[in-house]
Amino acid sequence: MAFVPVAPHALPLPTRMPEANKVIPAEMSDSMNAGKNTGARHAILAGFLGWTLDAFDFFVVVFLYDTLAHQFGVPKKSIVFTVTATLAMRPIGALLFGLLSDRYGRRVPLMINVVYFSIIELLCGFAPNYTFFLIMRALFGIGMGGEWGVGASLAMEAAPVRLRGILSGILQSGYTFGYLLAAVAARFLLPSFGWRAMFWAGAAPALLALYIRTKVPESEAWKQHRAASTGAVLRVVAREWKRFAYLVALMTFMMFLSHGTQDLYPDFLQEVHKLSAATRSMPPSFTTAERLSAPSSSAISRRLPAGAKA
CA distance readout (Å), 305 to 257, 296, 297, 302, 310: 25, 16, 14, 8, 9
Q: What is the pLDDT of residues 206-222, one digit of tens each?
A: 888 989 989 999 999 89
Q: What is the CATH number of the domain that holds 302?
A: 1.20.1250.20
pTM of the predicted protein model: 0.78
Q: What is the pLDDT of residues 66-114, one digit of tens each?
A: 999 999 999 999 999 999 999 999 999 999 999 999 999 999 999 999 9
Q: Is the pLDDT of residue 166 over 60?
A: yes
Whether 31 is covered by a domain: the verdict is no
Q: What is the pLDDT of residues 126-138, one digit of tens each?
A: 999 999 999 999 9
Q: Is the pLDDT of residue 205 over 60?
A: yes
DSSP result, 109-174: HHHHHHHHHHHHHHHHTT--SHHHHHHHHHHHHHHHHHHHHHHHHHHHHHS-GGGHHHHHHHHHTH
Q: Show the domain range for 240.
A: 40-214+227-309
Task: Provide mean pLDDT across the span 122-150.
Answer: 95
Whether 194 is covered by a domain: the verdict is yes
Whether 66 is covered by a domain: the verdict is yes
Whether 106 is covered by a domain: the verdict is yes
Mapped onto helix, strand or coil, the DSSP state of residue 272 is coil
Q: Is the pLDDT of residue 295 over 50?
A: yes
Whether 5 is covered by a domain: the verdict is no
Let me know: does 42 contact 155? Beta carbons within 8 Å. no
